[in-house]
């Protein structure tokens, strides 16, 4: 059962993720270098650094907590070839992440609505975890 804070967060970010204004995408490209509908501050250069530090391989599974529309986890999936599981409180963000998974042909990746407090995965399910621009 989500907490009141989680419900409020899902509603607030859901409203933001629902915006698909071309000007917003252009601004994100200019500032971050990406086009995922990101609401955070992680740049492409920083995501590339994450990829280098994590040394993800195609056989690895990456969990992205608080992924929203999928940035930067799905980008790492494309760059490294690994499987990504994107999670967020917002159903709108997860839907956008699922669209991006299809767009980027990340056939083994998926996105689910889940709280970082109660993830629906067993121990040792992932090789790496990212949670850029979110508080867990």
Would you state the torsion angle of the CA atoms of residues 36, 39, 45, 47, taken in this order, to the nearest 10 degrees?
-80
How far is it, in rounded angstroms, from Cα 72 to Cα 113?
17
Whether the pLDDT of residue 134 is over 70: the answer is no
Architecture of domain 4-130 in this structure: 3-Layer(aba) Sandwich (3.40)
Q: Are strands 61-65 and 110-113 parallel, antiparallel or unpaired?
A: unpaired
Residue 43 has pLDDT above 80, yes or no: yes
Domain range summary for the chain, segments of one domain joined by +: 4-130
User: Could you tell me where the beta strands, DSSP code E, fall in the chain?
Assistant: 61-65, 83-88, 110-113, 128-130
Strand 61-65 relative to strand 128-130, pairing: parallel
Residue 96, preceding bond cis, omega within 30 degrees?
Answer: no
Model pTM score: 0.88
Question: Distance (Å, rounded) from C-alpha 66 to C-alpha 24?
Answer: 20
Within its chain, how far is the Cα of 96 from the centroid? 10
Please state the length of the chain.
136
* pLDDT tens digits for range 66-121: 999 999 999 999 999 999 999 999 999 999 999 999 999 999 999 999 998 889 99
Q: Which residue has the higher pLDDT, 127 or 32?
A: 127
* pLDDT value of position 6: 87
């Amino acid at each position: 059962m989500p907490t009141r804070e989680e419900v409020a967060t899902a509603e607030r970010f859901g409203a933001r993720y629902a915006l698909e204004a071309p000007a917003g995408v252009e601004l994100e490209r200019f500032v971050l270098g990406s086009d995922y509908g990101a609401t955070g501050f992680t740049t492409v250069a920083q995501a590339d650094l994450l990829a280098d530090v994590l040394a993800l391989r195609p056989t690895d599974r990456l969990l992205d907590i608080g992924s929203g529309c999928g940035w930067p986890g799905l980008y790492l999936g494309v760059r490294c070839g690994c499987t990504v599981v994107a999670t967020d409180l917002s159903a709108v963000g997860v839907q956008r992440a699922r669209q991006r998974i299809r767009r980027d042909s990340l056939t083994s990746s998926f996105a689910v609505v889940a709280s970082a407090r109660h993830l629906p995965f067993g121990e040792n399910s992932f090789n790496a975890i990212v949670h850029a621009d979110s508080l867990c």
